[in-house]
Amino acid sequence: MRLCSAYYLQDETFIKCFKSTNLSLAETSAKAVPLVAIHQDAENLYRVCVQAQPAQDASVLPERLELRLLDPQQNVLATVTAQPNDSFI
């Protein structure tokens, strides 16, 4: 897997993980791969970067796939939604 358009995440100080996931959508069944990169800086703060990519057998993400950033109380802080022909979000 690759972190698209995130050249700065190629730094080896980032811990990177991914997991292939089956998504059950009303219209279709599709696969997407969420990638997570975590970096701890000198001040003990964490930088977390998340990206969704299509599975290897697809070139685009399922339309309307959402990534949400939640706080500890499950409030949505930010949302990114895949548009038609998005290869990553």
The most distant pair of C-alpha atoms in the chain lies apart, rounded to whole Å, by 46
CA separation, residue 78 to residues 5, 14, 43, 46, 71 (Å): 20, 22, 25, 18, 10
**Alpha helix (H) ranges present in 7-52?**
none
Percentage with pLDDT > 90 across the chain: 15
The one-letter code for the residue type at 40 is: Q
Beta bridge partners of 66: 81
Alpha carbons 85 and 62: distance in angstroms, whole number = 8
pTM value is 0.66
Residues 33-59 pLDDT 10s: 888 878 888 888 888 888 888 877 788
- Averaged pLDDT score across all residues of the chain: 77
Domain ranges of the chain: 7-81
